[in-house]
Amino acid sequence: MGEIAENYEVSRQAVYDNIRRTEKILEEYETKLQLFQRFQAQSKQTDELENYVRENYSQDGRLLAMIEQLARLEE
């Protein structure tokens, strides 16, 4: 915070306050949009699908390739 304050010629307290305010705004957005919660649910479903395909369709190269593409989208 000291380095940021120095670069922008403001106090450390101003930097701290700005970070806190921004964090609060982001948390409010998350509460309204639930993006992280949706991402976690989607990741869980993708993992379950991947496990199911690997266990039951391990010979289907096309399906396995599609699962790999899904996994890369999560990264």
Are 24 and 38 within one domain?
no
User: For residue 60, what are the contacts with CB-CB under 8 A and spacing of at least 6?
Assistant: 53
> What is the domain extent for residue 11?
1-33
Same domain for 23 and 13: yes
Question: Are residue 62 and residue 51 in the same domain, yes or no?
Answer: yes
Q: How many domains does the chain have?
A: 2
- Confidence band (pLDDT; 50, 70, 90) for 67? confident
Is there a single domain that holds both residue 38 and residue 68?
Answer: yes
Q: Per-residue confidence at 25, pLDDT binned at 50, 70, 90?
A: very high
8 and 24 within one domain: yes
> Does residue 20 sit in the same domain as residue 52?
no
Q: Are residues 27 and 60 in the same domain?
A: no
